[in-house]
Structure 1
Amino acid sequence: MALGDSSRFIEDNLRERLAGARWILAAAWLGLAAAVWMDALALMPAIGLGALILVAASVSARRRPVAAALARLTNEPKPLRLGGEDRLTALVRALPDAALLLDPRGTVVVANLRASGVVASARVGDPVSFAVRVPEVLEAIRAATADGVARRIEFAERVPLDRWLRADIVPVRSAEGRGTATEAVLVGFADLTAQRRVEQMRVDFIANASHELRTPLASLSGFIETLQGPARNDAGARERFLKIMGEQARRMSRLIDDLLSLSRIEMNAHLRPETKVDVTAVLSHVRDALGPLGRERGVEIALEHPPQPVAVHGDRDELFRVFENLVENALKYGGAAGRVEIGIVREGSDVVISVRDYGPGIAPEHVPRLTERFYRVDTAHSREQGGTGLGLAIVKHIVARHRGRLGIESTPGEGSTFSVRLSACPADDTKTSTKS
């Protein structure tokens, strides 16, 4: 009960008791009047009547303030508390974005659940500098605490992955007046990674597409002009040109598909897949899908794997794309010896998938650049094989999204080995992807 309510309660209680006292005085005067007008024998009934009135007045005087107090306690408005938390703490915990509530000294008072996905080291009781190591954000927090002005800072993180974030810093003051000091600082974080990646995807697509599509478009334009002019009535030239034009059109189609796939993978690079996937089943599917190409080139695809299933957390379609690209490259560029080997090995908590060929190998100066976009060791041979120069770039980005590692080992004249290391799933995890 508030101090003002307590004063009113005491005042009402005194008022009720004074009213009871008036009843007692009235009863006493009534008894004296009866004593004057009545004889001694008649005095007893008068005294009894006065006593009865006195008891009734006393009971009434005591009952009324108690009833009034109970009524006030029942109707008393109570402060809002949610599960033992005050309203500000409960509000911060309920925010849909990552948020930290700091005291004026910069110590974390509240960190909601989403904050762990943005600032994983944020712990209640630690200085905010332990969780946020961006000087611009820390300086903005200090300035907002001092002058009470909200601020917004955009910043980028490069480790462990590229991310773009926005920090909204809002000082919290009491409602009593503008001159009061800052009591807390609310720091909210918004993830801008998807938005920035979409913007970068547009820029990269325009730059890469304009460069790589220039050659096939020039070829198509030249053949069309030739067919409309000198080779108008030449049936043999028309058939030969139409075949080349079809190949160039398919090359452009593959190039656009690879560019779009790469952009989608990069846009989701910060989201790690969580579905359990059987790697042995994926590699068996890859072997079956590329079996016709192997038979056409006279290359055997051998798969060696443990007897029990080997599972990882991942996206089944993306993992299929990784191993399809690696095996297809081995068939096209390293299948001279007639054999490509796929192996699955458990190493502690990891699983290592390797694709080995026995072809001409790759010179050491080319190995570090193989995963760059449009980088080719032999441009003419790559285009002859239908390559777009994006296959290993796609492999690298998919492996990075799965928090794995891509390894490349090659010896000229002895062949190459491409390996992918991924974290294996615990044996008791049963949510296996059965997509085929």
Structure 2
Amino acid sequence: MDQDRLIASLLAAVPHPMLVVGDDARIAWLNAPARAILGDADGRHYLTVIRQPEPVALLERVLAGGEGGTTRWRLTGPGRDTVYRGLVARVAGLGASLAFQDVSDVEHAADMRRDFVANVSHELRTPLTALLGFIETLRGAARDDPAARARFLGIMEREALRMNRLVGDLLSLSRVEAEERVRPRTQVELAGLARSVLATLRGMADAAQVTLTLDAEADLPPVAGDLDQLTQVLHNLVENAVKYGGSGKTVRVVLRRVAHDPVLRSPGLSLSVIDQGAGIDAIHLPRLTERFYRVDTHRSREQGGTGLGLAIVKHIINRHRGRLKISSEKGKGSVFEVVLPLI
């Protein structure tokens, strides 16, 4: 086998994009993954194909007789950036090789982890700071003031309960993510589940002067699901609708059969929670299921929200191979629709 065929066959066995630049600074060989990214670059000067300063500097150094090394570069494009990690090495008698890999997903996951830790730290620090401040006050100026002591203890209780809710939601989110690839197999009757959830939240709705109604089609078949998790989904959606739907308004839960859902590509059951609140600006809708994302941060915290509820809902629905659709219009309320497959 001649040298060209040998090198081409070796490069073809490499799963990641890889190319070899000859001592004349022209691309001598590249494999199919590299060609898919760079195009037909055979015989071209590497500077006309690879324009990022980081890999270019390494290639120049290796071609000049220096040592190779690892490099990283980012390409800005529509949506999110593409991040590559590469290795440049000397190939005796041939020139320099560049092997690289798209690590955008890894970088994105790392960014999400950093953001998540920062958000959790912030969410816990705020009530902790308040608790420490009130403890200091109770030990000092308010030590002998019964009225102030009672008021401060009430605030401390609310802050402690808020932290407890946050920890509970974090644990719930962790459990849901751990089970997300395991599809539930038990059969759940959604109409009965909805009646149970509405009965549980009736007291909260009455206190907020909100009317809860259920409109369910007759003879709906059961769905494959986890009863506790689906209860959590509906509880979360109805509770949010009561909190933000407005006093004197109605929150409707509607259950109906879907003959064919175009996204799921199967028949399904639709569960919609419809409120008559102020609505949500369209700019916020794509981000509502992000962890700690709030449309109105101050109001959400006043209502006791942790910013994790809809993220938990999204992961539960993903586990059930369903979909969540959110539609809203300012001044006309919101609709949170869950569609679960029947097969």
* Larger Cα-atom Rg: 1
Q: Is the 8 A contact 1:319 1:398 kept in 2?
A: yes
Q: Give the unaligned 5+ runs of structure 2.
A: 1-13, 17-109, 260-266
Residue 366 of structure 1: SS of its match in structure 2?
helix
1:423 maps to what in 2?
341
Structure 1 residue 203 displacement after superposition: 8.2
2:251 is paired with a residue whose SS is: strand
Q: 1:298 & 1:201 partners in 2: Cα distance?
A: 39
**Match in the other structure for 1:320:** 231
Give, in angstroms, the shift of residue 211 of structure 1: 2.4
TM-score w.r.t. the length of structure 1 is 0.51
**Cα distance in structure 2, aligned partners of 1:281 and 1:375:** 31
How well do the aligned residues superpose, as a CA RMSD in angstroms?
2.1
The structural deviation recorded for 1:336 is 3.5
Is 1:280–1:310's contact at 8 Å kept on the other side of the alignment?
no
Whether contact under 8 Å (1:337, 1:359) holds in the other structure is no
Q: Give, in angstroms, the shift of residue 309 of structure 1.
A: 3.6
What secondary structure sits across from 1:412 in the alignment?
Answer: coil
Structure 1 residues 374 and 359: CA distance shift in structure 2, 3 A: same
Which amino acid in structure 1 is aligned with residue 151 of structure 2?
A: R
* CA contact 2:211–2:248 (8 Å) conserved in 1: no
SS at match of 1:310: coil
1:293-341 CA-to-partner distances (Å, cap 9, x unmatched) read 1111111111011221431101000000000000000000013352000
Measure the CA separation in 1 of the matches of 2:152 and 2:257: 52
1:220 paired residue number: 131
Counterpart secondary structure, 2:219: coil
Please state how far the C-alpha of 1:208 moved relative to its aligned partner: 4.4
Q: Distance in 1 between matches of 2:15 and 2:225?
A: 35
Q: How many Å separate the matches in 2 of 1:211 and 1:382?
A: 15
Deviation readout 1:251-276 (Å, 9 max, x if unpaired): 00000000000011011111111111
Q: Percent identity?
A: 53
2:215–2:253 contact (8 Å) kept in structure 1? yes
Partner of 1:231: 142
The equivalent residue for 2:153 is 242
Is 1:403 the counterpart of 2:321? The answer is yes
Contact 2:220–2:256, Cα closer than 8 Å, also in 1: no
| Pairing partner for 1:334 from 245, 248, 267 | 245
Q: Is 2:221 the partner of 1:310?
A: yes
Q: Counterpart in 1 of 2:58?
A: none
SS at match of 1:420: strand
In 2, are the aligned partners of 1:337 and 1:358 still within 8 Å (CA)? no
User: In the superposition, relative to structure 1, how do residues 373 and 398 fare at CA in structure 2: closer, same or farther (>3 Å)?
Assistant: same
Q: Quick check: 1:135 aligned with 2:15?
A: yes
What is the aligned partner in structure 2 of residue 378 from structure 1? Answer: 296
What is the CA deviation profile of residues 134-166 of structure 1, one whole-angstrom value per residue up to 9, with x for unaligned ones?
936xxxxxxxxxxxxxxxxxxxxxxxxxxxxxx
Provide structure 1 residue ranges, at least 5 long, that are not aligned to the other structure: 1-133, 137-198, 426-436
Mapped partners of 1:298, 1:215: distance in 2: 31
Q: Give secondary structure in 2 for the equivalent of 1:285.
A: helix
Q: SS of 2:292's equivalent?
A: coil
Q: What is the SS of the residue equivalent to 2:240?
A: helix
1:395/1:248 CA distance change after superposition, 3 Å: same
Distance 1:218 1:321 in 2: 30
| CA–CA separation in structure 2 for the residues paired with 1:367 and 1:249 | 30
The one-character-per-residue Cα deviations of 1:90-129 (angstroms, maximum 9, x if unpaired) are xxxxxxxxxxxxxxxxxxxxxxxxxxxxxxxxxxxxxxxx
- Once residues 164 and 255 of structure 2 are traced to their aligned partners in structure 1, the CA distance between those partners, rounded to angstroms, is 33
2:277 is aligned with 1:359: yes
AA partner of residue 307 (structure 1): A
Q: Distance in 2 between matches of 1:307 and 1:200?
A: 47
Whole-Å separation in 1 of the counterparts to 2:136 and 2:331: 45
Q: Which amino acid aligns with 1:291?
A: R
Separation in 1, partners of 2:245, 2:15: 50
Aligned counterparts of 2:290 and 2:195: Cα–Cα separation in 1: 28
**1:145-160 maps to which residues of 2 (within 5 A)?**
none
**TM superposition shift of 1:383:** 0.8
**Alpha-carbon distance change, 255 to 232 in structure 1, aligned in 2, over 3 angstroms:** same
Structure 1 runs (4+) deviating above 6 angstroms are 199-205
1:302 alignment partner, SS class = strand
Aligned letter for 2:124?
L
Q: Does 2:189 match 1:278?
A: yes
Q: Is the 8 A contact 1:355 1:418 kept in 2?
A: yes
**AA aligned opposite 2:292:** F
**CA distance in 1 between partners of 2:252 and 2:124 (Å):** 35
How many pairs were matched up? 230
Deviation, structure 1 residue 396: 0.6
TM-score by length of 2: 0.64
CA distance in 1, matches of 2:112, 2:193: 29
Q: Distance in 1 between matches of 2:113 and 2:139?
A: 36
Residue in structure 1 matching 2:331, options 413, 418, 423: 413
Deviations 1:67-109 (A, max 9, x none): xxxxxxxxxxxxxxxxxxxxxxxxxxxxxxxxxxxxxxxxxxx
2:240 is aligned with 1:295: no
Partner deviation per Cα, 1:16-47 (whole Å, 9 max, x = no partner): xxxxxxxxxxxxxxxxxxxxxxxxxxxxxxxx
